[in-house]
Amino acid sequence: MDSFGSQQKRWPYQVLFILLTELCERFAFYGFSGSLVYFFPRFGISSVLSTELYDLFSTIVYITPVLGAYIADTYWGRYKTIVVFCAVYIFGLMLTTAGAYPVLPVNGSDGSEETANETDGQRAWETVNLAMVVVGLFCCVTLGAGGIKSNVVVLGADQFEIPAQINEQASFFNFFYWAINIGATGAYLFLTNVALHGLPGLGIPESFGFFVSFLIPTCAFCLAVILFTVGKDLGPGYTLRPPEGSAVVDFLATLRTAVWRGRGRYLLVGAPLSCVAFLIVVASFFTTSYELHASFAIAGLGLIFVSLGLILLGGSDTSWLTHWHEGAHALAPSAAEVDAADVVRILPLAACIVVFWVIYQQMSSNFQLQGCQMDLHVGSSFKLSPATLNVFDSLVIMLLIPIVDRAVYPLLQRVGLGLGMLTKIGIGFGFAMLSVIVAGIVEIARRNAPLLEGVDGQSSCPAIGDDPPLQMSALSIWWQVPQFMLVGLGEIFAAITCYELFYAEVPPHMRSVCQSINLLCTAFGSLAAAGFNSVCAGWLPNNLNDPSAHLDYVFFLLGGVMALNIVLFAFLASRFTPRDDVGVLQEVRLSSAPLGCAAGPLCTLEGGVRLSRNSHAGSHRASRLSRLSENEHLDALLSSRELILPVEDTPIATKPTRS
């Protein structure tokens, strides 16, 4: 295999093409999504509906990776799946870019351009443009991004020879994470400002800003995909593994036969109910009557939390999967049932994680609406795009992850205050709650500050339809920095640890199932954020200086929901039994002792595995291991490195929070 670097650290050349593809894909994704809240109003769409559409876009983006992983695992393999989905992605970027081409003159924020007289032909073209944007974004970009998201990091990891290159593979994951954040930072710093201002120095006016800001990442991503395909034929090419079937399908097949029993019925009702909630929330976006809009939104948001509650109940006791055989003709549960139970027991924690992602979504929706009407001046004339402040979230993550991981956690461990995974997630929830509380305080200060006067006091964010330009307050947008940084701290403790939770708490072959659940948590969070804004639409008029506006209420309400969520999470965490594969390994004996659990707190199973009779999770693992031969016990435990090391020392494959 062609490689670069020293003898101690060899990287396959093909990894560079994979990293470049990921960087450009994230540059394109955030270049488009980072400005959507300002882009939709150019079609006369209200600020509330703009945030709802952005949240809907994010919801679909985090659902489609499950489809991409399934296709790669079952039919096409990772390389072909990535190439096909890249083609769909590029088509969507091109459609959206074409839809951003200005057909009608756009009213400048300085009020100097006259309102255009719309002809029937011009109105028709504007409708065509909007149709291209909707199809491009919601059908093609979401599908393409999902197919890439679930496969490109795995393809990169497959290029390394394990175990010989285990350290180099870990280094790859770090570089992959940096590629994500470099792409996002470039998009927020450069493209979001181009979208609102154009490039006057290059003769590109403000009215062409969105078109150019979409065209640049589209071209960059096209070039990256070309280089990605070239990498397949360069030297030995990519290391490609054939599809081996999807663990998600096997997991669902096991549940399908079991959900009719006991608490499994809660899942049987909760999962379809979440789909109904999705449709009701989306329907609420497009109802013109405020009363009907509010009714649909409240019903949809309520069903989201009801479905999450049912899923929580279904996962709080997994005996319907593992102990239903008890009786006169008792049989040990099958391996598939035991593995499914290991996954289902995490669902109550996953339900709580959804609320974190609701707050995370505020950075690209309500935080930006707030920033639009703060003082955006940088220097005497330039007005910053509010989306730029997302950079502070990325910077906090990139700068503090090494410090927290290499200094804070080890220090706490040495003084006897080591943090478990669930404790870290709880701390992350606390930072997320603080972020919206701070945002609410900033909003009160913004409303109490005097308004800037004249043309210079008009926001760079576009007005909606025939509304007058938005007026900025005298409070500087830099006061928003703490709330973005607090979300970043929340991601370090909660979002990253979620990858670890969904990785370490299930058997190795079920990790793809859990990562799908992790992505669906993010999708649920985006959907709930959209429903939340729909419910609070009366507090969110197009102009936040309007007397009816109360964005601060929205933030404080979110903080209250998170406070309740923290209490529930603490209760669930106190009842959660972590896996202890290290303990299982230490109890392996080479003697084939007969099964006997007549006395004492420990049971000795076939193969010499001894586990606590009082440990529910232990009984799951014992049942699975008891069906293995003596040598298979050792093979199962020694074949994967992460089962041998303690959880804190286990290398976690992916830690990108902007993903």
Query: Is 259 contained in some domain?
Result: yes
Same domain (yes/no): 182, 298? no
CA-CA distances (angstroms) from residue 512 to 138, 145, 151, 251? 25, 18, 11, 10
Task: Please report the pLDDT score of residue 12 as a whole number.
Answer: 84
Kindly report, residue by residue over 476-514, the tens digit of the pLDDT.
999 999 999 999 999 989 988 888 888 778 887 787 788
Q: What is the CATH number of the domain that holds 16?
A: 1.20.1250.20
Contacts of 20 (CB under 8 A, 6+ apart): 179, 224, 227, 228
Q: Kindly compute the dihedral angle of the four CA atoms of residues 177, 183, 185, 187, in this order, to the nearest 10 degrees.
A: -160
Distance between CA 77 and CA 79 in Å, rounded? 6
Task: Please report the pLDDT score of residue 88 as a whole number.
Answer: 97
Same domain (yes/no): 466, 553? yes
Number of H helices, E strands in the chain: 27, 6
Considering only the C-alpha atoms of the chain, give the largest distance between any 2 of them, rounded to a whole number of Å: 89
Same domain (yes/no): 299, 346? yes
Kindly report, residue by residue over 83-118, the tens digit of the pLDDT.
999 999 999 999 999 999 987 554 444 444 444 455
Q: Please, are residues 438 and 17 in contact by the beta-carbon 8 Å criterion?
A: no
Task: Please report the pLDDT score of residue 25 as a whole number.
Answer: 92
Higher pLDDT, 162 or 609: 162
pLDDT bin (cut points 50, 70, 90) of residue 613 is very low
Kindly report, residue by residue over 528-566, the tens digit of the pLDDT.
999 999 899 889 998 999 999 999 999 999 999 999 999
pLDDT bin (cut points 50, 70, 90) of residue 588 is very low
| Structural element, H or E, at residue 262 | none
Same domain (yes/no): 71, 216? yes
Distance between CA 361 and CA 388 in Å, rounded? 15
Query: Is 383 contained in some domain?
Result: no
Same domain (yes/no): 92, 211? yes
Query: Is 658 contained in some domain?
Result: no
Is the pTM higher than 0.75? yes
Same domain (yes/no): 257, 220? no
Task: Please report the pLDDT score of residue 2 as a whole number.
Answer: 54
Same domain (yes/no): 401, 308? no
**Averaged pLDDT for residues 603-618:** 34
**Averaged pLDDT for residues 269-277:** 91
Same domain (yes/no): 326, 455? no
Task: Please report the pLDDT score of residue 516 as a whole number.
Answer: 83
Domain count for the chain: 4
Query: Is 657 contained in some domain?
Result: no
Distance between CA 217 and CA 95 in Å, rounded? 13
Same domain (yes/no): 393, 323? no
Task: Please report the pLDDT score of residue 446 as a whole number.
Answer: 95
Same domain (yes/no): 210, 319? no
**Averaged pLDDT for residues 114-124:** 60
The rounded percent of the chain whose pLDDT value lies above 90 is 43
Q: Which of 554, 575, 596 represents a domain boundary (last residue)? A: 575
Query: Is 59 contained in some domain?
Result: yes
Q: Please, are residues 213 and 194 in contact by the beta-carbon 8 Å criterion?
A: yes
Average pLDDT score over the chain? 81
Query: Is 335 contained in some domain?
Result: yes
Query: Is 281 contained in some domain?
Result: yes
Look at residue 30 and tell me whether its pLDDT is greater than 90.
yes
| 105-114 long-range Cβ contacts below 8 angstroms, 24+ apart | 105/207, 106/42, 106/206, 106/207, 106/462, 107/462, 107/463, 107/469, 108/206, 108/207, 109/206, 109/458, 109/459, 109/460, 109/461, 109/462, 109/463, 109/469, 110/455, 110/458, 111/455, 111/458, 111/469
Query: Is 549 contained in some domain?
Result: yes
Q: Which of 523, 553, 575 represents a domain boundary (last residue)? A: 575
Same domain (yes/no): 480, 545? yes
DSSP state of 140: I
pLDDT bin (cut points 50, 70, 90) of residue 632 is very low
Q: Which of 555, 575, 595 represents a domain boundary (last residue)? A: 575
Same domain (yes/no): 90, 18? yes
**Range of the structural domain that residue 622 is part of:** 581-649
What six digits make up the tokens of 558? 């979110």
